[in-house]
Structure 1
């Protein structure tokens, strides 16, 4: 099975950046981060006519966590900078009786 090394995130915004949404790229997953970086400029150029305020970013994927990522968090700052990261939510299960507070 091939591993994923990078994810291409594209975000299109209104002119004043008050409303933004994710845009599906032609290719979203890459086996090498460098391949994602090389694809990014052409992808932005090809989609710019339909998305005048388009931002893109390649996010590195840790192969050890590839199946554990469950959140993609992004924000477009007022200066037009796209910030994004993949996150893993760690859920902790506590076994006990209902209403019982676990000891620390």
Structure 2
């Protein structure tokens, strides 16, 4: 499938790497992978004020996925890379 957008993901961790969290961004969805890569350095500098260790990646979104409703699952590898999987949105069911 054709790539239509990209999601910028930034994760901040404490110095010991024992606690990591996704850093909220004002505009995580970018129009293209190249636009996302261009936005990454500034976003990392702005996000890095609160966390000693910062990791980031741009995740391509294909034409069959809505970038506003996909779910992201991320993990840091032993090598210090940010591994990300895109998934289908979780369906919420209301019950009485």
Aligned to 1:27: 27
Q: Which protein is richer in strand relative to its size? A: 2
The answer to whether the aligner puts 1:18 opposite 2:18 as a matched pair is yes
Q: Which has the higher contact order (CA 8 A, sep 6+)?
A: 2
Q: Does the aligned pair in 1 maintain the 2:23–2:47 contact within 8 Å?
A: no
Q: Identify the residue that residue 78 of structure 2 maps to in structure 1.
A: 78
In the TM superposition, what is the alpha-carbon distance from 1:46 to its structure 2 partner?
A: 2.0
Q: Which has the larger radius of gyration?
A: 1
The structure 1 segments of at least 4 consecutive aligned residues displaced by more than 2 Å after TM superposition are 67-71
Q: Cα gap change, 1:53/1:44 in structure 2, threshold over 3 Å: closer, same or farther? A: same
**Contact map agreement 1:69 1:87 (CA 8 A) in 2:** no
Alignment check: 8 A CA contact 1:6 1:29 kept:
yes
CA contact (8 A) 2:6 2:60 kept: yes
Query: Could you tell me how far apart the structure 2 residues matched to 1:67 and 1:77 are?
Result: 24
Structure-2 residue corresponding to 1:95: none
The TM-score, its normalising length taken from structure 2, stands at 0.77
Q: CA RMSD, aligned part only?
A: 2.4
Number of residues paired by the alignment?
A: 88
TM-score by length of 1: 0.71
Match of 2:63 in 1: 63
